[in-house]
Structure 1
Amino acid sequence: MKEGKENEWIEPLMNDLRKLEEAQQAEVPRQYELMDTLAEFKRKRKKAWKRELAIFIFTALTILATYFVVSLKMPAVFLWVQVLAIITIPIIYAAEKKRRRSLNEVLDDGF
């Protein structure tokens, strides 16, 4: 008699599980879809690499110019550069963060 009671709830449960499995069947992507996705990823990485290279070169030139100004003992120019850097760095950071959010990129704030 116990087996009859067990079957009463096992069969509906198994039917429900089959329905869930059928609903969750994912379609296998075609080769051209995978290739398009890969090509898009490569384009984005190349664009990001160029942007990062430009930022690196700009930063290196800024540091070089700062050392040049300090070596020539021009404190007024050095102070102006420092003030401009303090003003522009948060603006650049906010713009970059907004751009990454709009592209749904993963943000790495270093935390």
Structure 2
Amino acid sequence: MTRNKQDKKEQELLTKLHKDWQQLDELGSPPIPTAQQMQEQLQLAKSAKRKAFQKELSTFVITALVLLTAFTTAMFQAPMLFIVIQVSAFVIAPIIFYILQKNKAKQEGSILS
């Protein structure tokens, strides 16, 4: 009788373990998206990228127009101020470019780490 109870307990334990292993297997393997889902995700990503590009482009154009207007006004109102601004930009621009490149390299390195 005890042998029969032990066999039954072992069988229950094995069934439970088998069920638990199946649940772990299901958790470990993510569902594979269908071709249609992949296509939808691709379209969403393209749309988001296009919107971001349009936003960045419009910001650039507006900033460029404001700067062009300011410099044109400065050139006609005070030519010496325009020359000072141009020389300052000529000196400061490479420094800003260097700092931005250095920060970009740091960010790229931290992503890979």
Q: TM (normalized to structure 1)?
A: 0.49
Greater RCO (CA < 8 Å, at least 6 residues apart): 1
Question: If each structure's helix is expressed as a fraction of its own residues, which one has the higher value?
Answer: 2
Larger Rg: 2
TM-score, scaled to structure 2:
0.49
